[in-house]
Amino acid sequence: MTRRLSTQDDNFDAAFAELLHLKRETSAEVDDVVAAILADVQRRGDEAIIDYTKRFDHQTLTPETLAVSAEEIDAAVTATPADQRAALETAAARITAYHERQLPEDADWTDESGVRLGWRWTPVDAAGLYAPGGLASYPSSVLMNAIPAKAAGVERLALCVPTPNGEVNPLVLCAARLAGVTEVYRIGGAQAIGAMAYGTNTIGPVDVIVGPGNAFVAAAKRQVFGRVGIDSIAGPSEILVIADGENDPDWIALDLLSQAEHDQSAQSILITTDAAFGDAVETAVAKRLETLERRDIASASWQSSGAIITVPDLDIAASLANKIAAEHLELCVTEPRALAAKIKHAGALFLGRWTPEAVGDYVGGPNHVLPTARSSRHASGLSVMNFLKRSTMLECTPGALGAVGEAAETLAKAESLEAHGLSVRARLNALNEG
């Protein structure tokens, strides 16, 4: 039975809180296992990676076959059907154009004291990209992870994609070629994260690791953070749809199921101002679940974590949306921009009845790697900023140091850091002596 809530119910606050805090993330105790794998990779390098690949992916590799060769990638590109390659090219062009506009500008100015100030942005040297593997892998995620790095100016892009039993999706390799990936390795799991973080004889270490993965990959990213940068610790996918009664209920049902089919732990929520429309969507979801290819997964997700919430007006809908802080938020209403102005917390917004979230997954342009589990309250989706770092700049002329130096010396003395103060005083004395 679908979870139905209404703000008019006496127990709404308690029911909404329960929905908000459903534990959908994996409860498996993986940290100890991952820590052992990472330590082993750090100690034994290629040998450990090869052992874990044989154990988990049933594939025997050597240091010479860890990397996918250029010839194999050429063959995959050739094997990609023309319509699928054209779709990838369309997606890549749109994602590139969007992310190139995110590039920040350097700054340089002189203030009233004569101190020259500024900052400049520079890319990391190497980015590690992780893509789930096998025949059920997602070439769109390769584009979404690699293109922002390329747009940021990263020179080395290393992709790890597991190939269980030697199976690889040609589209993944085609996407890697289109996105400018420089290295592809047929490894996955925590061992792949360790290889990229620590480096081995075959795989050079990177500066930043991005990309989705299972619980072991997520735990590994968490444990190597600090040695390398990471994008986020992604949880199960989620969608929130705010819809009035003027929508086609089947469209909204499909939007909800588009995330439910990802994972049994995914979450799909509808907030509507029309209870009868909520009924119609519930019926449409049930009908679609009769024929959907991934109906077992989608049904489990909808039954365990899905919900339909009825509210009196869109102001209340926006208030609830800010508490949910969803990864994806569709605003299927007559005036979506007016409603969007009231939204503070969402990974990505999709405005209007003709903007299904699925367009954003592939060809919209914005990134589909987004904060989950309410983390959009403090985090943003993947962008070029994940691959850039800012260096500040400061330049004092003798006159500028004379204007600000004594204050610096005073504060150094207040903190009992004698050498700090003396390093300034030595210059001030020279300045005073002419």
Task: DSSP letter for 385, please.
Answer: G
Q: Which domain holds residue 197?
A: 31-114+122-230
In a domain, 375, yes or no: no
Q: In the listed set 180, 199, 230, which residue is the last one of a domain according to the structure?
A: 230
Residues 109 and 163 both lie in one domain = yes
Phi, psi of 49 (to 5 degrees): -60, -45
For 361, how many CA atoms within 13 A lie in the half-sphere containing its CB?
Answer: 15
Residues 350 and 426 both lie in one domain = no
**How many Cβ atoms are within 10 Å of 39's Cβ, its own excluded?**
14
Residues 239 and 226 both lie in one domain = no
Which residue, 142, 120, 133, is CA-closest to 58? 133
Q: In the listed set 182, 211, 230, which residue is the last one of a domain according to the structure?
A: 230
Structure tokens at 154: 């990263």
Residues 191 and 220 both lie in one domain = yes
Structure tokens at 240: 């929130």
Residues 171 and 196 both lie in one domain = yes
Strand pairing partners for 330? 241, 350
CB-CB contact of 334 with 246 (8 Å):
yes
**Residue in 99, 328, 330, 357 annotated catalytic:** 328
Specify whether 327 is catalytic. Answer: yes
Residues 286 and 402 both lie in one domain = no
In a domain, 369, yes or no: no
Whole-angstrom distance, CA of residue 410 vs CA of residue 413: 5
For 246, how many CA atoms within 13 A lie in the half-sphere containing its CB?
Answer: 9
Residues 224 and 319 both lie in one domain = no
- CATH code (residue 179): 3.40.50.1980
Whole-angstrom distance, CA of residue 68 vs CA of residue 167: 12
**Residue in 183, 238, 282, 327 annotated catalytic:** 327
In a domain, 390, yes or no: no
In a domain, 382, yes or no: no
Residues 338 and 425 both lie in one domain = no
Residues 62 and 106 both lie in one domain = yes
CB-CB contact of 140 with 132 (8 Å):
no
In a domain, 379, yes or no: no
Written as one string, the DSSP assignment of 105-158 is PPEEEE-TTS-EEEEEEEE-SEEEEE---STT--HHHHHHHHHHHHHHT-SEEE
Sole residue written with tokens 């369309």: 90
Helix axis angle, 170-179 to 82-100, nearest 10° = 40
**How many Cβ atoms are within 10 Å of 342's Cβ, its own excluded?**
14
In a domain, 391, yes or no: no
Element counts in the chain: helices (H) and strands (E): 17, 14
Specify whether 368 is catalytic. Answer: no
Which residue, 128, 212, 140, is CA-closest to 172? 140
Residues 176 and 253 both lie in one domain = no
Any idea what the Cα angle at residue 101 is, between residues 154 and 395, rounded to 5°?
70
Which residue, 242, 403, 374, is CA-closest to 308? 242
Whole-angstrom distance, CA of residue 180 vs CA of residue 143: 9
In a domain, 160, yes or no: yes
**How many Cβ atoms are within 10 Å of 238's Cβ, its own excluded?**
29
Sole residue written with tokens 């290889």: 195
Residues 261 and 409 both lie in one domain = no
Residues 54 and 17 both lie in one domain = no
In a domain, 376, yes or no: no
3-state DSSP assignment of residue 241: strand
Answer yes or no: pTM beyond 0.75: yes
- The count of structural domains within the chain is 3
Q: In the listed set 186, 209, 230, which residue is the last one of a domain according to the structure?
A: 230
Structure tokens at 308: 């339909």
Strand pairing partners for 328? 239, 348
- Cα–Cα distances in Å, from 284 out to 42, 143, 278? 52, 33, 10
Task: DSSP letter for 277, please.
Answer: H
pLDDT digit string (tens) for the chain, length 434 residues: 789 999 999 999 999 999 998 865 555 688 999 999 999 999 999 999 999 999 999 999 999 999 999 999 999 999 999 999 999 999 999 999 999 999 999 999 999 999 999 999 999 999 999 998 765 678 999 999 999 999 999 999 999 999 999 888 899 999 999 999 999 999 999 999 999 999 999 999 999 999 988 889 999 999 999 999 999 888 889 999 999 999 999 999 999 999 999 989 999 999 999 999 999 999 999 999 999 999 999 999 999 999 999 999 999 999 999 999 999 999 999 999 999 999 999 999 999 999 999 999 999 999 999 999 999 999 999 999 999 999 999 999 999 999 999 999 999 999 999 999 999 999 999 998 87
Rg (CA), the chain: 26
